[in-house]
Amino acid sequence: MNPNKNFASPLCANPRSMQNRQLFTIFLILFVDVLGYGLILPLLPYYAKTYGAGEIIIGLMVASYALLQFVGAPLLGRWSDVRGRRPILLISVAGTGVGFLLLAMAEAIGFWVFGEGTSNAFKFILLLMFLSRMLDGLTGGNISVAQAYITDMTNDQNRAKGLGMIGAAFGLGFVLGPALGGFLSQWGYTVPAWVAFAVSVFNLCMVYLALPESLTDEKRAVILQMPRPKMGLPIMWQTFSRPDVGALFRLRVSTTLASGIFPAVFSLYASGEPLSLSAQHAGYVLTYVGFASAVMQGGMIGYLSRRYKEPQLLLYGAFFLILGLFGWAITTNVPFILVAITFFAVGMGLAGTMINSLITKAVAPHEIGQILGIGASFDSLTRILAPIIGGVLLAKVGSYGPGVFGGVVMIGVLLYMLKIRRQINGR
C-alpha cells in the first residue's frame, strides 16, 4: 500500500467516523508539535544567556524563527498543493525534530570542537542555537498545511469546527508546554530540548503511521494542470489586492497584529505597575488565556457555527476583542484582568477561526495550501512586529498603551468589516 494514497475506501461503513478520527489525529499532531515548541520558547533566553548572549542576540534568535517561517510557509503550502499534505507534514515535523536535536546537542558539540568553557565554544554554541531555530522556522509551516488538510476533508458546514480544533491544539500546547519545560529545566536547559526532540520523533511516527493523505489523486491532477503561480514577496503583497481574498487578508493581518501584542508583552507588562506580578503568577495568567482559547475554539466553535453565520461570528469576535483589549488597558487588579482576557480569548478564537474559514471558501481548491501559507507568513511578520510595538508603547506611553493601541486597531477592523459586510456575507 502506498502511504501517500488516501486511506479512505468506499467500503468504510461510517465515513463520518473516519473523518472524526482524522480530525482528532491532526489535532493531536499539532498539539504535540506546539507542546514541543512551548517546551523550548520560554527557556531559550535563559539557555542563551548561559553562553554570554545579550538582549539583542536573544531577540534576534527568537525573531529568526518567525523570519524563516515567513520565507518557508508559502513554499510548504504550495508544495502541499502539488505533492500532497502528508509528505509536507512529514518534512515539516522532521525539520522541527532536527532543529530540537541540534539545540539539545549544541553544548556538547561546542565543547567537543573548541574545548569546555572557551569563548570560541560559547560563540559556536550560540551559532548552533541560531541554526536550530532557523531550521525549525524554515520547515515549521505545518499549521498552514494542517489547515489545508482540514479544508480538504471538510465542507462549508463543518469547516469552522475543524479549523477551530487547530486553535484548540495551539491553546492546549502553549498551556502545557511552558509549564513542563520549566519543570524539566531544573535538571538543565538541554533536558527540555531532548524531550522536545523525543516529542517530535513521536509526532513523525504519528504522521507516518496514522495520518492518511487528504488530497485525492483527482484533486492533485487538477492542480498539476493549473499554471504554477509565482512565489516571493510581490505575490504576497499582491494578495491584499485580490478581489476574492484581499479584504479577508487585510482583516487577518490587522486582527493578528492587534491580538498578538497581548501575549508578546504581557509578561513585561505584568512585572510592573499596576499588577507587579511575579514570573510565576504571570505564567498562570497566560495559562488561563491558553485554556480559555482552547475551550472556545475546541468546544464552542462547532456549536456556534451551526447556529450563526460565519460573518456574524466574525463581527462578534471583533467586538469581544475590543472589549478585552480596552479592558486590559484600564485594568488595576488581577480579577479585573481575568474578566478582560476572557473577552480577549473568546474574541481571538472567534475572529481568527472565522477569517481562516472564509479564506478557504473564497479561493480555488488548487491554491488553498499556498494561500494559507501566505497567511502563515503574514502571521510571522506580526509576531516580529507585535513585541516591538508593544515594548515601545510600554516604555513611551505606559501600561495602558498596548491595550489602547490594540483596541483602536480592532475598532478600525470592526468598521472595515461593516463596510465589506455584503461582500463577506456572500461566501
Residue among 318, 345, 347, 356 at smallest CA distance from 263:
345
Per-residue pLDDT band for 404 (boundaries 50, 70, 90) equals very high
Q: Are 284 and 158 members of one domain?
A: no
- What integer is the mean pLDDT of 210-224? 73
| Other beta carbons less than 10 A from residue 386's beta carbon | 23
Q: Which domain holds residue 400?
A: 235-427
Q: Give the model's pLDDT for residue 335.
A: 87
- What integer is the mean pLDDT of 118-142? 86
Look at 188-202, 219-233, 306-320 and tell me which has the smallest mean pLDDT.
219-233
- Give a yes or no: residue 10 inside a domain: no
Look at 2-16, 17-31, 366-380, 406-420 and tell me which has the smallest mean pLDDT.
2-16
Q: Is the model's pLDDT at 12 over the cut of 50?
A: no
Query: Comparing 46 with 418, which gets the higher pLDDT?
Result: 418
Please give the radius of gyration of the chain, using alpha carbons only, rounded to the nearest integer. 21
Q: Are 352 and 255 members of one domain?
A: yes
CA angle, 142 as apex, 210 and 140 as ends, to 5°? 125
Of 173, 193, 228, the residue that ends a domain is 228
Q: Are 251 and 378 members of one domain?
A: yes
pLDDT tens column, 244-278:
788 888 999 999 999 888 877 776 787 777 777 76
Q: Give the model's pLDDT for residue 42.
A: 66
CATH of the domain at 275: 1.20.1250.20
Of 212, 228, 244, the residue that ends a domain is 228
Per-residue pLDDT band for 426 (boundaries 50, 70, 90) equals low
pLDDT tens column, 323-357:
999 999 998 888 898 899 899 988 988 888 888 88
Write down the mean pLDDT value for the chain. Answer: 79
pLDDT tens column, 56-69:
777 677 778 878 87
pLDDT tens column, 133-169:
888 888 876 777 887 788 787 776 777 777 777 777 7
Q: Is the model's pLDDT at 361 over the cut of 60?
A: yes
Q: Are 209 and 253 members of one domain?
A: no
Q: What's the start-to-end Cα distance of the chain, in Å? A: 39
Q: Are 122 and 245 members of one domain?
A: no
CB 213 within 8 A of CB 81: no
Q: Are 29 and 87 members of one domain?
A: yes
Q: Are 321 and 404 members of one domain?
A: yes
Instruction: Kindly report the pTM of this predicted structure.
Output: 0.69
Q: Give the model's pLDDT for residue 2.
A: 44
- Give a yes or no: residue 8 inside a domain: no
Q: Are 224 and 251 members of one domain?
A: no
- Give a yes or no: residue 285 inside a domain: yes
- Give a yes or no: residue 2 inside a domain: no
CA distances from 305 to 149, 220, 299, 301, 314 (A): 20, 29, 11, 6, 11
Q: Is the model's pLDDT at 427 over the cut of 70?
A: no
- What integer is the mean pLDDT of 402-407? 94
Q: Give the model's pLDDT for residue 164.
A: 73
Of 190, 209, 228, the residue that ends a domain is 228
Domain count across the chain:
2
- Give a yes or no: residue 199 inside a domain: yes
pLDDT-above-70 percentage for the chain: 85
Q: b/e for 216-252, b at 16 or more Cβ within 10 A?
A: eeebbeebeeeeeeeeeeeebeebeeeeebebbbbbb
Q: Give the model's pLDDT for residue 76.
A: 81
- Give a yes or no: residue 12 inside a domain: no
CA distances from 283 to 53, 109, 277 (A): 24, 33, 9
Query: Comparing 32 with 323, which gets the higher pLDDT?
Result: 323
Q: Are 153 and 209 members of one domain?
A: yes
Q: Are 94 and 209 members of one domain?
A: yes
pLDDT tens column, 294-326:
777 766 777 788 888 888 899 999 999 999 999
Residue among 258, 257, 276, 256 at smallest CA distance from 268:
276
Q: Distance (Å, rounded) from C-alpha 55 to C-alpha 36?
A: 24
- Give a yes or no: residue 327 inside a domain: yes
Per-residue pLDDT band for 413 (boundaries 50, 70, 90) equals very high
Q: Is the model's pLDDT at 10 over the cut of 60?
A: no
Residue among 264, 302, 38, 266 at smallest CA distance from 172:
38
Q: Give the model's pLDDT for residue 154.
A: 76
Q: Are 309 and 411 members of one domain?
A: yes
User: What values do phi and psi take at 212, rounded to 5?
Assistant: -75, 160
Q: Give the model's pLDDT for residue 71.
A: 78
Q: Are 298 and 395 members of one domain?
A: yes
